[in-house]
Structure 1
Amino acid sequence: MMQYDLIVVGSGPAGRRAAIQAAKLGKKVVVIEQGKRVGGVSVHTGTIPSKTMRETALNLSGWRERGFYGRAYRVKEQISAEDLRRRLIITLDHEVEVLEHQFARNRVQHIRGRASFVDVNTMQIVKEDGEVVQITGTSILLAVGTKPFRPDYIPFDGKTVLDSDELLDIEELPRSMAVIGAGVIGIEYATIFSALDTAVTIIDPKSTMLDFIDKEIVEDFTYQLRDRNMKLHLGQKADKVERLPDGKCQITLDSGRVIICEMVLFAAGRMGATESLNLAAAGLQADTRGRLSVNPETFQTSVPNIYAAGDVIGFPSLASTSMEQGRIAARVAVGAIAKEPPKFFPYGIYAVPEISTCGLTEEEVKTRGIPYECGIARFRETSRGHIMGLDSGLLKLIFSLKTRRLLGIHIVGEGATELVHIGQAVLNLKGTVEYFVENTFNYPTLAEAYKIAGLDAWNRMGDLKSTAH
């Protein structure tokens, strides 16, 4: 029986970062992946595919140029599902190649197969050819990710009623689509297909969406969706989904409203992929959504030598944070020092338009009773915005009136997920409004919006010396 210092189950962002970190510390590491290729959900059905589809859709549709040339402008008149898939395959092949090279370079072993616990130190692996092997590890990290939630009352068929994993394999682009679920995944795909001129309807039982995002940003985002004729049925539940004889779908809402469309995407949540792990053999138990509870500083489960990281432990379920969780868990697992990451990290939603945020929302600042001021910049106020033909886009900065320190950055618009890192650095380094007022930004750039928003807040706050230390 092979003995390892660290067994990693799953090769997504958390798993691969953990494995490489432990290997760089001179430990013997093995990664178990049940998929045909390494990379996990992030590479094959989640982060990379959805962002590749988004980029392809915006490029081929001419979306970014419509501010100049009108809504009828197209780069390619007839965009097919195959057009989207072609770029996706090239991107995924590159991602897998890079990952396999990283494993080889760092001498991380890789076993393909389905893993399950025998006891707290032993795992059984059923390989694709049916061979069964057992390995033991001093520590074990579970980075198995998630799978789409598929309730029994939804008649999934993989063609007209799909989950977010199946959406990548569609043969034709629908003329109309209903998206059940106004979470991050649902919103991203809904807006991508809207950019491809599919008539999109969003349905969610909650009366609000993206509640963890600053309310003013969500309001601006919602306005942009409605402006391009997307239908939002919030506060209404999909009671029944049926396939009609003519091949279309009918959705009946609890309000009595009926929606007819060519395709239904069900994106109302995901579940931890823990069902096949035989957790009970290791003394572990997942919650009703298959997720595991961990110590948020060490990522240890209730069993001291077993760790979990990534989407399987729940919010924020980001590839970026999963990587850091995996790295920290690996260091703790092999006895190395692990520093806690900065308190604030960026959150990116790759919708059309993008949303990105870091730090406190205005609602959180109010709840904490912090005296504050906001600065706003609209992308159309920047020269770069005019050059790009942008008529929308908003950057919002929140500052403490007492310390003048930056408390939060919130952006909706083109390039939001890139722009947010400037604010993230200032926030974590405890910078003040004076940073944005006194520093020079490249011109013309969208980053100049930081200076505009900083001046907007500074004018209201008054020209006082910073009291921050």
Structure 2
Amino acid sequence: MAVYNYDVVVIGSGPAGESAALNAAKHGKRVAVIEAQSSVGGNCTHKGTIPSKALRHAVKQIIEFNTNKLFREVGEPRWFSFSRVLEHSRRVVDQQVEMRTNFYAHNRVDLFFGTARFQDESTIVVRDNHDGVEELKTQQVVIATGSRPYRPADIDFRHPRIYCSDTILDLSHSPRTLIIYGAGVIGSEYASIFSGLGVKVDLVDTRERLLSFLDDEISDALSYHLRNNGVLVRHNEEYERVEGDEGGVTVYLKSGKKLRADAFMWANGRTGNTDQLGLENIGLSANSRGQLQVDEHYRTELPHIYAAGDVIGWPSLASAAYDQGRFASADLLNDDFQFVDDIPTGIYTIPEISSVGKNERELTNACVPYEVGQVFFKDTARAQITNDRVGMLKILFHPETLAILGIHCFGDQASEIIHIGQAIMRQKGEANTLKYFLNTTFNYPTMAEAYRVAAQNGYNRIF
């Protein structure tokens, strides 16, 4: 068995692992990365963020072609199979893997492909798919193993018509009807994708409203547009059992309802990938959801072992994971450290949703006075030109100081638009107030101009 010595070993090559490894390598440390899959990128690249967002983009293009009157001059609306649309996302995944592999090569980071397991606090054993074993000795460790879909034992995920959010990317046929159980971010995004392909979707929500952490008005808008696109949303429902047969899947709900569809997708909860790490050998334990507890410096109970990304739970976003990994390695390097907070949400439904800061419900519950500046995209020139008229931008601000308290966006490119407001909110003094948008000249016509219009509408409400 070969034995190697490193300053830092990173377990996992998703966003958190990649940023932790590259940051340590750039500071002169000898770094190794262990990846359980056959290529780098983690679940973010292979099963989550990248393929699902590439899939969404392709579906959005199909929707535009099928609904734009201009395109009727060159052809009739077209139907595309799910497997054909998936080809686009696979090409993007390949490009991402090639790029990220080059990152490690350029920074002289060693890659080990296989299952990592702690032998003791400073020794990690890597076993590959061919029973090859290698031993890594290290001074410090960053655990960035990510998460996977929670799969309850009473549902037969081996059935060819029952999927989770990972295996749905292996779907080889195009179902006419689909039941999605779980209406969180993943479930809502896939409901948008499949309904955009003409699939009739039942979206089963275990709660009373969609994405309740969002601003109520944004959540209501999402609910309306999902229903408008043919998604039947069923709130406050829980499954009793799920049965698959040759013709489809039947879901029996505790309320007595019986749902039938060609396929079923489970999208309710995720589990941290910690069960094969041998944590018991080093005195660490994960919670019931497989997640590790860390302090404000991303350290576990063992100060030389850090954890970042989905494996530590909230917010379980690729963007946050990348920063968490970078700052976890910064802390072990005694470099400038920052705890990752004030994170913008980016939800890739059709249309997109993004927000940063407080929402109206939170401000009301905290007894913080606020006023609203709002603009609907249908009233902006750029949206009229692109024909992406659905959506709005909402600025919440203090009526006396004009300080910006929260920004919420629903519509095309919302996840891009939000960063303008995020940048202003992070400024100090008058620079982070409504006056910035009132006194700044925006290109016309642009979607960014929506900030000026929303700010003016809000300002007119108090003066």
| TM-score normalised over the length of structure 2 | 0.95
Q: Cα 1:75–1:120, aligned 2, differ >3 Å: closer, same or farther? A: farther
Question: Does the 8 Å CA contact 2:79/2:197 hold for their aligned counterparts?
Answer: no
Superposition deviation, residue 390 in structure 1? 3.0
Distance 1:315 1:385 in 2: 34
CA deviations on 1:199-256 (whole Å, 9 max, x unpaired) are: 01100221122121111110111111122221010101121211245x1111111111
Distance 1:149 1:339 in 2: 31
CA deviations on 1:315-361 (whole Å, 9 max, x unpaired) are: 110111000000000111122232345x4221100111110011111
Partner of 1:355: 353
Equivalent residue pairs, number: 458
Partner of 2:153: 152
Superposition deviation, residue 60 in structure 1? 2.8
Superposition deviation, residue 169 in structure 1? 1.0
User: 3-state DSSP class of the match of 2:126?
Assistant: strand
Question: Does the 8 Å CA contact 2:374/2:457 hold for their aligned counterparts?
Answer: yes
Question: Does the 8 Å CA contact 1:215/1:363 hold for their aligned counterparts?
Answer: yes
User: 3-state DSSP class of the match of 1:461?
Assistant: coil
CA deviations on 1:246-299 (whole Å, 9 max, x unpaired) are: x1111111111111111111000110010000101111000011001111x310
Distance 1:211 1:316 in 2: 15
Partner of 1:302: 301
Q: Does 1:257 align with 2:260?
A: no
Partner of 2:44: 42
Question: Does the 8 Å CA contact 1:355/1:411 hold for their aligned counterparts?
Answer: yes
Partner of 1:381: 379
Partner of 1:173: 174
Partner of 1:3: 5
Superposition deviation, residue 403 in structure 1? 1.8
User: 3-state DSSP class of the match of 1:224?
Assistant: helix
Question: Does the 8 Å CA contact 1:59/1:75 hold for their aligned counterparts?
Answer: no
Partner of 2:121: 120
Question: Does the 8 Å CA contact 1:67/1:391 hold for their aligned counterparts?
Answer: no
Question: Does the 8 Å CA contact 2:196/2:229 hold for their aligned counterparts?
Answer: no
Partner of 1:449: 450
Q: 1:305-324, aligned counterparts within 5 Å?
A: 305-324=304-323
Which residue identity does 2:437 align to in structure 1?
F
Q: 1:388-399, aligned counterparts within 5 Å?
A: 388-399=386-397
Partner of 1:268: 268
Identity value in percent: 39
In angstroms, what is the RMSD of aligned CA positions?
A: 1.8
Distance 2:317 2:338 in 1: 20
Superposition deviation, residue 303 in structure 1? 0.9
Q: Does 1:87 align with 2:85?
A: no
Partner of 2:419: 421
Q: Does 1:162 align with 2:163?
A: yes
Superposition deviation, residue 131 in structure 1? 1.6
Q: 1:408 aligns with which of 398, 406, 413?
A: 406
Distance 2:69 2:160 in 1: 36
Q: Unpaired segments of 5 or more residues in structure 2?
A: none
Which residue identity does 2:248 align to in structure 1?
K
Distance 2:317 2:377 in 1: 27
> Which deviates more, 426-435 or 321-330?
426-435
Partner of 1:111: 112
Q: Does 1:28 align with 2:26?
A: no
Superposition deviation, residue 187 in structure 1? 0.7
Superposition deviation, residue 80 in structure 1? 1.7
Superposition deviation, residue 57 in structure 1? 1.2
Distance 1:75 1:452 in 2: 38
Partner of 2:329: 330
Superposition deviation, residue 158 in structure 1? 5.4
Q: 1:54-69, aligned counterparts within 5 Å?
A: 54-62=56-64, 66=67, 68=69
Which residue identity does 1:208 align to in structure 2?
R
Superposition deviation, residue 61 in structure 1? 3.6
Partner of 2:79: 78
User: 3-state DSSP class of the match of 2:342?
Assistant: coil
Which residue identity does 1:155 align to in structure 2?
D
Distance 1:208 1:128 in 2: 44
Q: Cα 1:76–1:333, aligned 2, differ >3 Å: closer, same or farther? A: farther
Superposition deviation, residue 366 in structure 1? 1.4
Superposition deviation, residue 94 in structure 1? 0.7
User: 3-state DSSP class of the match of 2:40?
Assistant: coil
Superposition deviation, residue 69 in structure 1? 6.2
| Regions of 4+ moved over 2 Å | 60-63, 65-71, 73-76, 334-337
Partner of 1:97: 98
Distance 2:117 2:158 in 1: 29
| TM-score normalised over the length of structure 1 | 0.94
Superposition deviation, residue 68 in structure 1? 4.9
Superposition deviation, residue 78 in structure 1? 2.7
Which residue identity does 1:384 align to in structure 2?
R
Which residue identity does 2:9 align to in structure 1?
I
Question: Does the 8 Å CA contact 1:67/1:390 hold for their aligned counterparts?
Answer: no
Distance 2:104 2:86 in 1: 27
Question: Does the 8 Å CA contact 1:60/1:74 hold for their aligned counterparts?
Answer: no
Partner of 2:143: 142
Partner of 1:366: 364
Question: Does the 8 Å CA contact 2:324/2:339 hold for their aligned counterparts?
Answer: no
Distance 1:157 1:134 in 2: 34
Q: Cα 1:441–1:159, aligned 2, differ >3 Å: closer, same or farther? A: farther
Distance 1:135 1:70 in 2: 58
> Which deviates more, 130-139 or 104-113?
130-139
